[in-house]
Structure formats: structure tokens, C-alpha cells
């Protein structure tokens, strides 16, 4: 095909723009000697039409709240996105394209969340992008219902996705798209790059279901555009229908060809994940009428044409600002909520409404969490909650909550169904809306099902709040399949994730306060099924110490031994300290609800908690030992789990596995003896 070939819906200038996108993409991959050139080459026409004729955005202000959202769920085709960002005037230069996949570049191998550059979400792990987009669509529906008044549609945007075969094969996408259909998210439009190729070869090797009928069964609006991916008249017709659809999300199945235009690589698996080679690129340039001697070439007329997006964006945002100014006069309270939320400000002082729990009672931290939500959530209208079909067990439903449903966009509680992985990704999408936050609950053992989404949240620093209950063998009779033992350690191993395991109801309240005020990354709350005594804060250290990650709960001037614990095992440590005291042995008890926060404190503070001169130490946690040596040292003794649990009442499990005060007393004595 030559650069002058006419394709339906494209002018000669349009064709030139499309070819520019293709060559920038294949050359960036070739220069890096690494990447995925085939998908950008096949999807260039559709992406160009979407970005220049349909999407609303402002390259001069990528954070403009009323922009359309674009998610490249097929994140392996990242150079397609970077080329579009460069050509339309975002903060991605030609040199940035040349630095594709290089150290500290703005153009990493897969898109990483960076709003200043125009990257809306992190994608690459297939299925995450499209699933996050479902959360973005939910957020838009809720925010529009909450803020829009009297014809002032200050929240009025759509979410566009380019997805691949791999996205649709991943289970997380099936979960999320099923829920999207149930909720009727008509603001979500997915363009499915149906290029028939995956890394192993033709998709017929493993993926032969009727994808169109599958999405129809999800209650999506489904359209198919056959051909070779260049009939933009047909594509735009489908796109217009999708934009006008009401009550259903849309998917456009666009037949394309991977590495389109390559004489030897088109429709081959080799073009999916490897550079085409200098000789092949030369052949493509010759075939398409480009000068083979020029690389990273952007014709002046292409740049002039595509940079018109800057003026269009400025005009669109200026019109919106005028609308918002008029809106602010009529609805000043809502306008202030909008601007405060955009600035990351909470609408209320949490300390003023944080519940306090009286010492002497006993309450599971999951139930305490529910009471905290009852107190806080009515004052936090832009925080959306939910659970993966475990609402009564997770205690995530707050007083006065209404379900978010197809006909109830004012609802703040999401019924995710038994879709843990999708819940995590959807929460991420809500939490990058710029205004809303999300929390969601399931059992801690099922955090394994969510881990892909949690990892994306951690590396992207999304402010999602993961609520995981039934956090140990204390769950009891459900047995080892439901009793987490390695999960806390595995989550602590993840950078940027704050993992809180509160010791009682007041620590739980403080953990919620920290989570809601923290906006630099995700937070996990690990909560008990079983009741725990509410600690006397006059007798012991204040739960406010949780904000530093660890604190002295029971102090001593010259302790003989340090007892370190988290969560439910704090009660075990306090019981052991009392027994040791009766024998004339002084124990200092340290609550360690969040290791990550504790590591961030000054050395002086850490030394004030973990007395450096005391080497006799016992770590206590109903989980595996991994990570504890950092705190108890090589000579310390760990009391916890070294196996899976067992089906028995929780108290019996603790006794049989030796996580008891008596066992801690024995360990403390041994540790003291070995330290001498």
C-alpha cells in the first residue's frame, strides 16, 4: 500500500498522519531493540480517528477533570499511545520517543500512570486496563449524579479503551465486563483490536469462542467492523452508534492486521513482541513512499494538523470553566466540594468524628471497622465502598448506604459479586477518577485472587483501600483453605503498599483515618473475624501511635525482653508480659500494626521503640515468619505458623499451633538466656 492509497473515511492528510504514527511506533521499537511494533501498526488508523475526531482532552492540562479518558488496555502497544501523545501536544517529545524503554524515560515499555504526560492508568498486565476502565466508568456515573444540576453537566465524559485478544482472554476482564454489562455503563466504549495473533501464534490455537456473542450475553452493545482495519468510514459509523447508545456499554470488534503493511511480518506472531528489523522497515518505507533515510520523521503538515488538538483542548476547557463558574454561583456548596476533592481535601476533620471504643469490651476488628464506617462514611460522599459478595462478613456496608445499580447511580455501595480480581482493578479505576476514592472487601485469603490489581495499585500509587477480613487461623472452622498464613508476609513484600494489622478497635479506627488521609498509594487493612479485647489506652500506649507504624504499648525502663506483635497476637503478648512480670521478668510490648510506616520513621524514633540494647526478642504473629528477622534479629524467637492451618474452632487452632501466652513466656526466657 502506498501513502496515497485512499481508504474510506481518510483524506490524504489523514493517511499521512496514520503513516507517521506507524513509523514512529516501529522506529521507537527498533531503536530500543525491544518492544511490540505490530499492534500499533494495525491500530494506527482507528486510534488516529478516535484521538483527532472524537475524544475530548486538553494536552496543555492533562488533569482537566472533564476530559474523556483513554485506556490502552493492550499496553504492549505502548508506542501507539506515546506517538499519539507526542503528535497531539502532550509532554512527550520526539526525544522521549527515541528514549523508548530506556532508564528514567517518560516512555517505559508498558504505560505507567502519569497524568502529567497524559497516561491515565498503568496497563501491560493484560486485562487490568479494561477492568480499571469499568471503575472509571462507575466513577463518572456516580460523580455526574452527585454534581450535575439544572443542565450544568460539569461531569460529562466517556471512557474509551483499546483492548486486545489477550485482554479478553484474561479472567479479570471477564469478571469486570460482566459487571459492566449488569450496571449498564453506557459511558464505556471498547475498541477490540481483533488481529488474530498472540505471542504463541494464531489465536485459533486457544481462543475460538464467539467473542461478539459472549459480550452480547454480558448485555453489551456489540458491533463488528470487518476488513483490514483501514475502513474508517465504517469504524466511525460504529463509533457514533456506540457514543449514542444508552443503557449498555459498547464494544466494537475491529478486524485488523498485526504489523499492517509489512511485506514479511504482517499477520505473524513474530511481529507481536520483537523489532521488525532495519531491512524490513526499509521495505515498508519504500512500499509506502517514505524516504528510507529518514527516521523519526514527522512531516510539518502532520504536526500542524495534529497539534490542533491543543487549541481544541484549550477551547473545550475554557468553555467548561465558564460553565463551572456559572454552576458555582448557583450551587456554591457543590462547587466547593468539587474543588476540595480535586485538591485532595477531605470534607471533614476525621478526628472530630472518629469513634472511640471503651476498654473492657471485646469486638472483632472487622466489626469495629464497620462501626468506624458508620461514623465516617455519611460525611464522606465521594468515597465508594463495596465487597465481593461478603458484605455481612466484611462489615463494609455502612449505615444509610444505597447500592450503586444500573438505575441508581446515586448509590455508594458496589455489589461486586464473587469477582475479587475485578473488584481490585475496578477500585483502582475509581480511585484515579481525580475526585472519588474506593474501598472494597473480601477475605484475606482471597487477596491472592486480587494480587495483580493490588500490585498495579502499588506500583502506580493509586489511593485504593483494600479491606481484608478473617486475617488468620482465628477464622476457625472454615479450615486451611480459608485461613491465611502467608498472606500478610506476601503483602508486606510489595513496595508502596501500606499493610495495617490493627490490634483492637481503636487501632482499627486510627488505621481508617490514616488510610483516608493517605493519597500517595494503596492501603490494606487486615482485620479479624474473632473478638479482641479493647485495650485500655490509659494503661497502655495510645492507639494514635499507629500513625508511626509501631509504638510501645507496654513500656519498661529496663526491659529484659521485647515482645513484638501485630493484630490479634497483641493480646497474646500482653498476656505473656503479665505472666513474666509475676516471675520478676520485665517485658516491653510493642504493637507493630504497619511495618512500612515504621520503616519510614527516624532512626531515633525506631530506637525509642525497639531498644537497641535489648537483644532478647520474641516476635508473635499468626502467620509465617518471613520478614520478622528484621525486627527480632537472628537470635530472636518467632512464635507463629510454619504450616497451613486446620479446621477447628479458632481458639483451638491458636492453642494447637502454639500461639499462646505460655508459649511466648517460654520463648522469652530462652531468648533472655541466649542473650546473656
The confidence band for 276, taking pLDDT boundaries of 50, 70 and 90, is very high
At 313 the pLDDT is: 98
Q: Assign 235 to helix, strand or coil.
A: helix
Nearest-CA neighbor of 239 among 77, 81, 47, 78?
47
How far is the C-alpha of 58 from the C-alpha of 68, rounded, in Å? 10
How far is the C-alpha of 459 from the C-alpha of 428, rounded, in Å? 12
In the structure grid, which three cell numbers stand for residue 547, read together?
500513625
At 1 the pLDDT is: 38
**pLDDT tens track for 303-319:** 999 999 999 999 999 99
**pLDDT tens track for 445-469:** 999 999 999 999 999 999 999 999 9
The domain locations on the chain are: 12-313, 350-533, 543-675
Q: What is the mean pLDDT of residues 150-162?
A: 97
Give yes or no on whether 12-313 and 350-533 have one common fold. Answer: yes
* Count of CA atoms in the C-beta half-sphere (13 A) of 524: 33
**pLDDT tens track for 377-407:** 999 999 999 999 999 999 999 999 999 999 9
pTM: 0.97
At 4 the pLDDT is: 43
Q: What is the mean pLDDT of residues 75-84?
A: 98
Distances (CA, A) of 46 to 14, 252, 266: 11, 11, 18
**pLDDT tens track for 463-521:** 999 999 999 999 999 999 999 999 999 999 999 999 999 999 999 999 999 999 999 99
How far is the C-alpha of 43 from the C-alpha of 230, rounded, in Å? 9
Q: What is the mean pLDDT of residues 109-128?
A: 98
How far is the C-alpha of 28 from the C-alpha of 295, rounded, in Å? 9
Q: How far does Cα 125 stand from its chain's mean position? A: 12
Look at residue 83 and tell me whether its pLDDT is greater than 70. Answer: yes
How far is the C-alpha of 369 from the C-alpha of 480, rounded, in Å? 24
Evaluate whether 30 touches 246 at the Cβ level (below 8 Å): no
Indicate the CATH number of 12-313 among 3.40.1360.10, 1.20.58.390, 3.40.50.970, 3.40.50.300: 3.40.50.970
Distances (CA, A) of 100 to 24, 32, 595: 11, 6, 36
How far is the C-alpha of 651 from the C-alpha of 310, rounded, in Å? 65
CATH number of the domain located at residue range(s) 543-675 in this protein: 3.40.50.920
At 5 the pLDDT is: 53
CB atoms within 10 A of CB 559: 22
Nearest-CA neighbor of 26 among 284, 214, 264?
284
At 3 the pLDDT is: 43
What integer best gives the mean pLDDT of the chain? 97
Residue 420 catalytic? Answer: yes
Look at residue 664 and tell me whether its pLDDT is greater than 70. Answer: yes
Q: What is the DSSP string of 291-350?
A: -TT--S---HHHHHHHTHHHHHHHHHHHHHHHHHHHHHHH-HHHHHHHHHHHTT--SS-H
Look at residue 28 and tell me whether its pLDDT is greater than 50. Answer: yes
Q: What is the mean pLDDT of residues 331-351?
A: 98
Q: Provide, rounded to the nearest whole percent, the portion of the chain with pLDDT above 90.
A: 98
Catalytic residue among 120, 420, 569, 596: 420
Report which DSSP code applies to 655: H
The confidence band for 226, taking pLDDT boundaries of 50, 70 and 90, is very high
Q: Provide, rounded to the nearest whole percent, the portion of the chain with pLDDT above 70.
A: 99
350-533: CATH topology: Rossmann fold (3.40.50)
**pLDDT tens track for 426-439:** 999 999 999 999 99
Q: What is the mean pLDDT of residues 563-584?
A: 98
CB atoms within 10 A of CB 407: 8
- Tell me the β-bridge partners of 465: 439, 523
Amino acid at each position: 500500500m502506498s501513502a496515497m492509497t485512499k481508504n474510506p473515511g481518510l483524506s490524504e492528510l489523514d493517511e499521512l498522519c496514520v503513516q507517521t504514527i506507524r513509523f514512529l511506533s516501529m522506529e521507537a521499537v527498533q531503536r530500543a531493540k525491544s518492544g511490540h511494533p505490530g499492534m500499533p501498526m494495525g491500530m494506527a488508523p482507528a486510534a488516529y480517528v478516535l484521538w483527532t475526531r472524537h475524544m475530548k482532552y486538553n494536552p496543555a492540562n492533562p488533569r482537566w477533570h472533564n476530559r474523556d479518558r483513554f485506556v490502552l488496555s493492550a499496553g504492549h502497544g505502548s508506542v501507539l499511545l506515546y506517538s499519539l501523545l507526542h503528535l497531539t501536544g502532550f509532554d512527550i517529545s520526539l526525544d522521549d520517543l527515541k528514549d523508548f524503554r530506556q532508564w528514567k524515560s517518560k516512555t517505559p515499555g508498558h504505560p505507567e500512570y502519569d497524568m502529567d504526560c497524559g497516561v491515565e492508568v498503568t496497563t501491560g498486565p493484560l486485562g487490568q486496563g479494561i477492568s480499571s476502565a469499568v471503575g472509571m466508568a462507575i466513577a463518572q456515573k456516580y460523580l455526574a449524579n452527585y454534581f450535575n444540576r439544572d443542565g450544568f453537566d460539569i461531569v460529562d465524559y466517556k471512557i474509551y479503551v483499546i483492548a486486545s485478544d489477550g485482554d479478553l482472554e484474561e479472567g479479570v476482564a471477564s469478571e469486570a465486563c460482566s459487571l459492566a454489562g449488569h450496571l449498564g455503563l453506557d459511558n464505556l466504549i471498547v475498541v477490540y483490536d481483533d488481529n488474530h495473533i498472540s505471542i504463541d501464534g494464531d489465536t485459533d490455537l486457544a481462543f475460538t469462542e464467539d467473542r461478539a456473542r459472549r459480550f452480547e450475553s454480558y448485555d453489551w452493545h456489540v458491533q463488528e467492523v470487518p476488513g483490514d482495519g483501514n475502513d474508517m468510514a465504517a469504524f466511525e459509523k460504529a463509533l457514533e452508534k456506540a457514543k449514542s447508545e444508552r443503557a449498555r456499554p459498547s464494544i466494537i470488534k475491529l478486524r485488523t492486521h498485526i504489523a499492517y503493511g509489512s511485506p514479511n511480518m504482517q499477520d505473524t506472531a513474530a511481529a507481536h513482541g520483537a523489532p521488525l528489523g532495519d531491512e524490513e522497515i526499509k521495505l515498508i518505507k519504500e512500499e509506502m513512499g517514505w524516504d528510507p533515510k529518514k527516521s523519526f520523521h514527522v512531516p510539518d503538515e502532520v504536526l500542524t494538523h495534529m497539534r490542533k488538538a491543543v487549541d481544541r483542548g484549550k477551547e473545550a476547557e475554557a468553555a467548561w470553566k465558564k460553565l463551572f463558574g456559572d454552576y458555582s454561583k448557583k450551587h456554591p456548596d457543590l462547587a466547593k466540594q468539587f474543588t476540595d476533592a480535586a485538591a485532595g481535601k477531605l470534607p471533614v476533620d476525621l478526628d472530630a468524628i472518629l469513634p472511640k471504643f471503651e476498654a473492657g469490651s471485646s469486638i472483632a476488628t472487622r466489626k469495629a471497622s464497620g462501626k468506624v464506617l458508620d461514623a465516617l462514611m455519611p460525611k464522606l460522599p465521594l468515597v465508594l465502598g463495596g465487597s465481593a459478595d461478603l458484605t455481612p462478613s466484611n462489615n463494609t456496608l455502612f449505615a444509610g448506604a444505597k447500592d450503586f445499580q444500573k438505575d441508581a447511580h446515586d448509590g455508594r455501595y458496589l455489589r461486586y459479586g464473587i469477582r475479587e480480581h475485578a473488584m481490585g482493578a475496578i477500585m483502582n479505576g475509581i480511585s484515579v477518577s481525580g475526585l472519588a476514592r474506593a474501598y472494597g472487601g473480601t477475605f484475606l485469603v482471597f487477596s491472592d485472587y486480587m494480587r495483580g490489581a493490588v500490585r498495579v495499585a502499588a506500583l502506580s500509587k493509586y489511593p485504593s483501600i483494600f479491606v481484608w477480613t478473617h486475617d488468620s487461623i482465628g477464622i476457625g472452622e472454615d479450615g486451611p483453605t480459608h485461613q491465611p498464613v502467608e498472606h500478610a508476609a506476601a503483602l508486606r513484600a510489595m513496595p508502596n503498599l501500606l499493610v495495617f494489622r490493627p490490634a483492637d478497635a481503636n487501632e482499627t479506627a486510627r488505621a481508617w483515618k490514616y488510610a483516608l488521609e493517605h493519597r500517595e498509594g494503596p492501603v490494606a487493612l487486615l482485620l479479624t473475624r474473632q473478638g479482641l479485647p479493647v485495650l485500655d489506652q490509659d494503661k497502655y500506649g495510645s492507639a494514635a501511635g499507629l500513625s508511626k507504624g509501631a509504638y510501645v504499648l507496654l513500656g519498661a525502663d529496663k526491659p529484659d525482653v521485647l515482645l513484638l506483635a501485630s493484630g490479634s497476637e497483641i493480646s497474646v503478648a500482653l498476656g505473656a508480659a503479665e505472666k513474666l512480670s509475676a516471675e520478676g521478668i520485665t517485658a516491653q510490648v510493642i504493637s507493630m500494626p504497619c511495618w512500612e510506616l515504621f520503616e519510614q520513621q527516624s532512626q531515633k524514633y525506631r530506637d525509642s521503640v525497639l531498644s537497641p540494647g535489648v537483644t532478647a526478642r520474641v516476635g508473635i504473629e499468626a502467620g509465617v515468619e518471613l520478614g520478622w528477622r528484621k525486627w527480632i534479629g537472628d537470635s530472636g524467637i518467632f512464635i507463629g505458623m510454619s504450616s497451613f492451618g486446620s479446621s477447628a474452632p479458632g481458639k483451638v487452632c491458636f492453642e494447637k499451633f502454639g500461639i499462646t501466652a505460655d508459649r511466648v513466656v517460654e520463648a522469652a526466657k530462652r531468648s533472655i538466656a541466649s542473650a546473656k
